[in-house]
Amino acid sequence: MSQVVMVAAIIVGVAALAALAYWHLVLAEGVYLGRRVVVWLYDRSAASYDRIKDFDPDDDADYLGRPLAEQLAGQSDARVLDVATGTGRLPLTLLSQPEFQGSVVALDASREMLAQAEAKLAAYGERVTLVHHSASPLPFADAHFDAVTCIEALEFLPNPDLALREMVRVLRPGGTLLVSPRVGIDRLYFPGRAPGLSTYNARLAALGLRNIETRTWQTYYSLVWATRDGVEGAY
């Protein structure tokens, strides 16, 4: 092998490794390297997460907080679980809706993300409980919650199907599930973890959900609302 060919081969090899590392760590955010890597990456970026995401509070209220508060209207003791809550985006928009009088359990596997959430949600006192735990198995009894949400997170969980099953298990019959499947071209960064909407909705139906309704939301995430069917204890 000539020296030129050898140098070219090394350059191509290094470029391929760099591209692979970029996909694993930046595009796929560590999901194919295991839960610990995902959580480590979120721990590291927790302090800058909100600045990077630049959430629009009005948009969050229109698409998340207000519709969920409307679903739970009249239930003054409504219990909501937000799985993979991050810096508390869902609890914040829900608790700021005057018609919502219930409480929220905000669960995440990243301590640093929860620390950010704690600071932002302090004003809501005992209406918020932060739980440092993995999304599956969930440390709650069957049918415990009136609503379960998981926003912009399913594809980051080690086993999204198992996590969904767990969310449905802790949701009471008649309760509301709100999840956000990854859509658009971005979905291709997550082979095996971000199925198309029709596959997704078929899985929800198989888990005993009905009134499954998809709403267009962002370029890379849609919202799916659904109701758990069945009678308490039957799941």
- Residues of this chain that bind ligand SAM (CB under 6 A): 35, 38-39, 42, 84-86, 89, 108-110, 113, 134-135, 151-153, 156-158
Measured from the CB atom, the residue of 146 and 152 that comes closer to ligand SAM is: 152
Number of neighbours of residue 211 by Cβ within 10 angstroms:
11
Closest CA to 51 of 10, 103, 87: 87
Question: Which residues, in sequence order, are bridge partners of residue 148?
Answer: 81, 177
Burial of 37 (0-12, 13-18, 19+ CB in 10 A): middle
Measured from the CB atom, the residue of 83 and 207 that comes closer to ligand SAM is: 83
CA 91 vs. chain centroid, Å, equals: 13
Cis-peptide into 98, omega within 30 deg: no
- Closest contact distance (angstroms) between CB of 116 and ligand SAM is 9
- Closest contact distance (angstroms) between CB of 199 and ligand SAM is 21
In this chain, which residue has its C-beta nearest to ligand SAM? 86
Measured from the CB atom, the residue of 39 and 164 that comes closer to ligand SAM is: 39
Cα distance between residue 50 and residue 36, in whole Å? 22
- Closest contact distance (angstroms) between CB of 147 and ligand SAM is 14
- Closest contact distance (angstroms) between CB of 172 and ligand SAM is 22
In the chain, the N- to C-terminal Cα span, in Å, equals: 64
- Closest contact distance (angstroms) between CB of 168 and ligand SAM is 16
- Closest contact distance (angstroms) between CB of 26 and ligand SAM is 13
Measured from the CB atom, the residue of 165 and 230 that comes closer to ligand SAM is: 165
Measured from the CB atom, the residue of 153 and 167 that comes closer to ligand SAM is: 153
**CB-based contacts of 131, cutoff 8 Å, min separation 6:** 105, 106, 107, 108, 139
Closest CA to 57 of 101, 85, 94, 106: 94
Measured from the CB atom, the residue of 10 and 48 that comes closer to ligand SAM is: 48
